[in-house]
Amino acid sequence: MQDNIDMEPLHKLFIYRKKLVKPYIERLLKWMDGITYMMSALLILTLVYEHGFLISFEEMEVINMLYHFVWIVFLVDISLHLLLNYSDTKRKYRGLAWILSLMLYLTLISVIFHEPEVQGGIHDFWSFFHSRLYHVVLLTLLSLLQLSNGIVRLLGRRTNPSLIFASSFLIFILIGAALLMLPRATYHGISFIDALFTATSATCVTGLVSVDVSSTFTPEGLFIIIMLIQIGGLGVMTLTSFFAMFFMGNTSLYNQLVVRDMVSSQSLSSLLSTLLYILGFTLAIEAAGMGVIFLSIHGTMGMDIEEELAFSAFHSISAFCNAGFSTLYGNLGNELVLHNHNLLYITISFLIILGGIGFPILVNLYETVSYESKRLYHRYVKKNKRTIRKIHLYNLNTRIVLIMTAILLVTGTVAIVIFEWNHAFAGMTVTEKWVQGFFNATCPRTAGFSSVGMTTFSVQTLLLMVVLMMIGGGTQSTAGGVKVNVFAVVMLNLRAILIGADKVNIFNRELSHDSIRRSNATLILYLLIVFAGIFSLSILEPQASVMALVFECTSALSTVGSSLDLTPTLGSDSKLIVIVLMFIGRVGVLTLISSLIKQKKITKYKYPSDNIIIN
C-alpha cells in the first residue's frame, strides 16, 4: 500500500513531463518533415540536372555532396520519428515503408565498417550497400514517397479535390516542359512554347505535336514524353494516392473518401485493391500489347532487338493511354509499317479500346470473368450442381459503355470503309482496307495515331470523325470527349422526351435526375468551349479553313491528337489556345469549372415551381 502511494507522485510527474514535452516534440517533427519535403524536391531536381545536362567533374562532386546531405536528412528524420513518436509512426507505416527504412539503415554498414580486404561474399555485401546506384535509387524512392504523402495530406486539409486534381496536371505539364528543354532531351534545342505544347499534349494524352517527334527528341526526350503519357494516362492523383497509401498505409478518413470518389471504388475497404487493380491492369495490358507489337514488327523495320523493344514499349503505352504519339516520321503512316503490318494496327486499336472504356469497366469485367471461372470450375470440375449464378454481374455503367463502344466502332468502321474504299484506301488489299477502316474508326476515340494522311479523307469521313471525337471514350478512362456515358444519357433523355415519358429508364433501371443534369451540362459546356476555341483561332489564323479549325479544336478539347496538318503552322498565340483546350479536355470541363467556382451550399427549402414556354 505504501509502495503504491510512493509511486503515485512519480506517475503524475511522468504524465506532466510528457504533456509538457509533447508539443515541443510535435513541433520538432513538423520542422523535420518540412526540411525532408524540401530535400526530397531538391533531390529530384538534382537528378534532373545530372541526367539532363553535360556535367563536369567539379559539378559531379557537388552533386555527390548533395546526395550525401539528403541521405543524412532522411536518416535523421526517420530516427527522430522512431525515437520520439514511435506509436504514431508504427500506426502510419506499412510493411514496405518499414523495408525502405531498414534499407536506409543498411547504408550505415559501409560507414561503420571498413571495406573488407578479402574478396568474397562479405566484400560484395559491403560493396552493394556502399554503391552509388543503391543510394540514389533508395533516396529517390524515399523522396517520391515523401512528396506523394505530402500531396495526399493536402486532401486532409479540406482543399477542393477538383482544384488539387487540376493543379497536379498543371504542375506536371510545367515540369515536363522544363525537362523537354534540357540539352540532352533534344537534338537541336526547342523553344519554350513548343516544349510546353508537347508536354501538355503528352500529359493530357492528346497527341497533337507542333514539331516532328522523331527528328526533334533524343532517346532521353522520348523517355520523358512516354513517362508524361503514363502519368497523364493513369492520373497524377491515382499514382500519388497509391504510392502514399501502399507504402504509408494510414491516411485520414477524408483523404480516403476523396480518393475513393476519384477512382470510383465501391467502398473504403476496397480502396487500395481498386488502386492495385488500376495499376495492375495498366501494366499487364501494356506488357501484353508490347509483346504482340514486338512480334508484329520483329525483323521487318531494320531495327536491332533493343530498338524493337523500345518501339514496342513506347507504342503500347502510347496506345493504351490514348496518347497517339509515335516515334516514326509520319506517325503510323510511315512506309515501314503501312503495308503488311495488319497485326500492328489491330493491336494498337484494341489497346486504344481497352484504355478508352475506363478502369471501372475493366475492374467490373475482371470480377465477372473471375466469378464465372470459379462458378464453372465448381460446377464441372468439383461436380457441384447446386451453384447459383448471380444475375447482375455487369453494372449499368459497364453495359452502357460496352454497348455504345460497340455501336460506335461498328458504325464508324463500316462508314469509313464505304467512304474511303476507292478514295484514301485506294491501292490497298481488301484486308488492309477493313483493318484501316477499323483503325481509323478507333483512333478518333481518342488516340491521335494516323495511318493515312488526314487531308486525303473525304469530307464525309472528316465530319464523322468530328462526331466520334466529340463523343470520346468511357468515363474515368484515358480517353477524352464528352464521354460515351454522357452521350448515352443525353440520347436516352431525348428519347424519353420524344415519347412523352416522365422518367428516363434503361435496362430496368431509372437514371437519377443528377446524372441527367450533369450530362446535359457537360455537353453544353463542351459545345461552348469548342466554339470559343474555333472562334479565337479563326481570328488568329485567318488563312486556315473552317474544317481545319473545327477539326483542330475538337481534337484538342477531346484529347484526340488528330489534325489536318494545321498544328505545325500555328503561331504562338494559337498554340496557347490549343494548350488550354487540351488541358481543359483532360482535366474535365465540370471538374475544372467546379474547382474555380465557389460551390453553393445545399439549402433546406425550395421555391415554388413554374414552367417556361418551350416550342
Q: Is residue 577 part of a domain?
A: no
d(CA 358, CA 281): 11
d(CA 160, CA 92): 24
Q: Is residue 182 part of a domain?
A: no
pLDDT at 474: 82
Lookup: cell for 406: 460497340
pLDDT at 248: 45
pLDDT at 436: 93
Q: Is residue 349 part of a domain?
A: no
Q: Is residue 32 part of a domain?
A: yes
Statement: residue 179 has pLDDT above 70: yes
Q: Is residue 117 part of a domain?
A: yes
Q: Is residue 247 part of a domain?
A: no
Query: Whole-model pTM above 0.85?
Result: no
Pair 458, 423: CB distance under 8 Å: yes
Per-residue pLDDT, averaged over 256-262, amounts to: 51
Among 199-203, 267-271, 376-380, 605-609, which stretch is predicted with the lowest mean pLDDT? 267-271
Mean pLDDT for the chain overall: 82
pLDDT band for position 274 (cuts 50, 70, 90): low
Please state the domain count of the chain. 1
pLDDT at 515: 86
Q: Is residue 211 part of a domain?
A: no
Q: What percent of the chain has pLDDT over 70?
A: 83
Q: Highest mean pLDDT range out of 235-239, 264-268, 517-521, 532-536?
A: 532-536
Lookup: cell for 315: 507504342
Statement: residue 265 has pLDDT above 60: no
pLDDT at 118: 76
Domain range for 14 is: 10-157
Q: Is residue 86 part of a domain?
A: yes
| Residue matched to cell numbers 556502399 | 130
Query: Tens digit of pLDDT for each residue in 441-481?
Result: 999 877 888 888 888 999 999 999 999 999 988 877 778 88
pLDDT band for position 161 (cuts 50, 70, 90): low
Q: What percent of the chain has pLDDT over 90?
A: 27
Lookup: cell for 538: 479563326
**Which phi and psi (to 5°) does residue 186 adopt?**
-130, 160
Statement: residue 114 has pLDDT above 50: yes
Statement: residue 194 has pLDDT above 90: yes
Preceding amide of 446 cis, omega within 30: yes
Statement: residue 22 has pLDDT above 90: no
SS3 annotation, 78-106: HHHHHHHCHHHHHHHCCHHHHHHHHHHHH
d(CA 281, CA 553): 31
- Three-class secondary structure of residue 490 per DSSP: helix
pLDDT at 479: 80
pLDDT band for position 246 (cuts 50, 70, 90): very low
Among 233-237, 445-449, 473-477, 523-527, which stretch is predicted with the lowest mean pLDDT? 233-237
